[in-house]
Amino acid sequence: MRSIQQATGCDILIQEQEAYLLPGLNVTTFEDTFSWRDRVEILWTSGHSPGSSCLYHNGLGGVLFTGRHLLPNQQGIPVPLRTAKTFHWPRQIKNVKLLLDRFTPDTLQYILPGANTGFLRGKGVIDQAYPKIQVG
């Protein structure tokens, strides 16, 4: 990160609970949400790690980049995945429910997960995503 920031002069946006991982870097932190240019919103979705966040873009019917917070299962359905490294499982489930409360089928058309994309059979994206989300 340091070399990228030095080479580009860019700022780093990070959820406040993860900022300690980047000592000495110029960071901008956020607590719950961070909006950028009326089209992009970063949403704190802790569970997989304390500062896990998802990026939402409101174009194309709504696109949510979930990282490892929601991953496709073997049927390609987006679910929270509990692993040995999951920070706080009940909080992760709570945050999936908050995503369901925040979005609708009209505002969340696509999910782009950060792993398990082989289960998407080459598509790389979960379309008509909102009604497919399973809480766990």
Contact between residue 50 and residue 17 where contact means Cβ atoms under 8 Å apart: yes
- Residue 84 pLDDT class (50, 70, 90 cuts): confident
pLDDT in tens, 107-117: 999 999 988 88
25 C-beta neighbours (distance < 10 Å), count? 15
Number of Cα atoms under 13 Å in the Cβ half of residue 77: 9
Domain boundaries defined on the chain:
1-30, 32-132
Q: Could you give the angle at the alpha carbon of 63 between the alpha carbons of 62 and 66, nearest 5°? A: 135
Bin 69: left if φ > 0, else alpha if -120 < ψ < 50, else beta: alpha
- Residue 46 pLDDT class (50, 70, 90 cuts): confident
> Of 9-18, 51-60, 82-91, 120-129, which range is least confident?
82-91
Considering the segment(s) 32-132 as one domain, its CATH architecture is 4-Layer Sandwich (3.60)
